[in-house]
Amino acid sequence: MYISISSIMKEFGVRVFEEMDYRREMSNARKIAKNIQGREKIIIPTVYEEITSSRVLVMDYIPGIKITNRKELLEKGIDVKKLAMDLDTAFIRMLLRDDIFHADPHPGN
């Protein structure tokens, strides 16, 4: 089987720009918020469509504690093991039930 490097690079170029379009991220954030509404203890920031573009994503700021700040979580009385399980469950549901793959799960997200 022959695979053309030039066709792979062309497809890569198209997909990279699709992935960098913040309107797509806005759409995904709305889908995730709709799918977890009422069943998860996770808050998804509101996205402001009227001022979001392909290069700028405008969302609510939601203050919180990063999951990597174990000391502060424990000081606030948060069960870190339960928190980890809840987040794992949410990500697995997103992937298996809601057909959404979150490709950037870092503490700031």
**Cβ-based neighbours of 99, under 8 Å, separated by 6 or more:** none
Catalytic annotation on 79? no
Q: Is residue 58 within 8 Å of 25, Cβ to Cβ?
A: no
CA 35 remoteness from chain centre: 13
Catalytic pick among 86, 88, 99, 104: 104
| Residues that are catalytic | 104
